[in-house]
Structure 1
């Protein structure tokens, strides 16, 4: 028996269980690196400007989104172990490159490699989800994703006070453990390997999405609406609601905890009852709460609204994923989810810029109102459209 099989039997990880932990580790490392380690180390130790650091973070997310389709194609054609391990290896190289960086281009190259290396993880997770319990498994994926993304910066901020080298060692150690887990994990359920070229697969998927009419604009609109609020949450909360930074942090934590508590039960309910009313209710309640947030003027009100936002978002996520899965060909799930992620990424890129422009040209509340209108419009569409056969 080879080493990989011995380790697989010893740790007894099923495919999806291993993917849960791989996703958690990768998001933990990326959050810790981009939010805590890179800004501090690059500015204080390497003496790079904040503009270079900001550009490096943008390059990371740009490359993450840009290679999604190609990463999905590789997942359809090669072993998920190989794809994951290669991505993790690139992530290790990227962090080691930062420590020895001497120029701006080395920093940009390092964050680009981290974006490329982390890009396949979410797609591998999606390709292994079983249709009969999709919403439940997606809830668990979102749970591990949120925990990793949130805990990474928090834990690293404490460790940064100890020593930068300690943080570096921890990040590298976690990625090495992640690589070992990727190599030893049992494969999750995989669909057949498509014999079509990447271009043919994408054309087929695009035609399926285009025929749905509203699905394509809905994918872009909802991520754009969410993106409108990203650069405005902190200044709006402190300048217009009057919260302190500590109160804002507590509000965000309350929303996050609410989302985490609802995610798993919502996934189980969607598997049993169908997702249509979770889509309608999630979009509708989210729209109403975003609108009400602009009239909040106390800390207690803001915390309460944040908890409603978190709960509605958590009930929406697995239902939306289950809806999208109906349009992904079973013999090319990697490329399919890669294209969907890329399309949704358009809104992620465009939203923040539009939100900042609206706040400056109209008012600080206007982007929130526009986001509420978009979410309410999507909820109304699914309420009055005949989509029962698609989302339950």
Structure 2
């Protein structure tokens, strides 16, 4: 099949799709199910679209053959595929003298729509399209039946969970979604995707503003606390204004914030149940001593990476950091350090291959704005507003 026309996205009461030839609900239930369908492109190449795939479809306002950027297509997820006139349904009885017209097979696809930020801004008051990326889409519960002829090509779409310290990097031309739009209720509602491992009750900076993917201000670079009870990013400017900072600036101080516990990282393979409660400073001193005692010592690049602040922001794009920031690499490095301390040994050669991000891109501290106390040379380390841990 070659794409023939675009699809008009709208809701109708009588039919399952926006097209006049779309099957009714009653007919859809009787149609033959399929696991895939094939679309032939203009150059003769065939693309197989399967159940569960995400794909681009030609917008109804566009013509076939019109040059479009990838982000200008509409995005859908395939939920079901059914055929009309495919040979299994009983043909209607014809008069012996009347020649039966050939039945042309048609393939129809039940899809879930991904909305563009512009479309959502028209439905949700306060939702800012300007904060979103060209390749950002909003998942929804809006389902329709569309013709298989409208499909363009297969594309993956990533979930962007802002509170997930293990969030995988998202490329410049990767489709992604961080919000879900509920259209089935009386009022449209939008919510953020969150990590299953997060205990955080809120998502967002103390100022209440969402993550602006286009804001290149260095003061709006966001810092994350990875502890399960926190898992939030905060603007540099907001943390400074609210005096969430400390002058304790040891190079390894951020290692005291683990992504796997709200307490200080366990340094012993068999910790005592009756441990004497230590202060944060005493815990950090124990951590520093444990790292120094390792023989052979941990690789310096690993320690440097583990001690990095977890950050994100458009201001860091020139440094090679994507919109998801460096969290996954820093968190992986911290876990390697904790594991080495517990085992009493260093890490194996080739540890860099376990990182999802290039080492040079993840180590960003030298490219961040210097944090100083007023007009002095006294350096600062930012602190989490929730747990007061160094971030």
TM-score norm. by structure 1 comes to 0.23
Larger radius of gyration: 2
Q: Which is richer in strand?
A: 2
TM-score norm. by structure 2 comes to 0.23
Q: Which is richer in helix?
A: 1
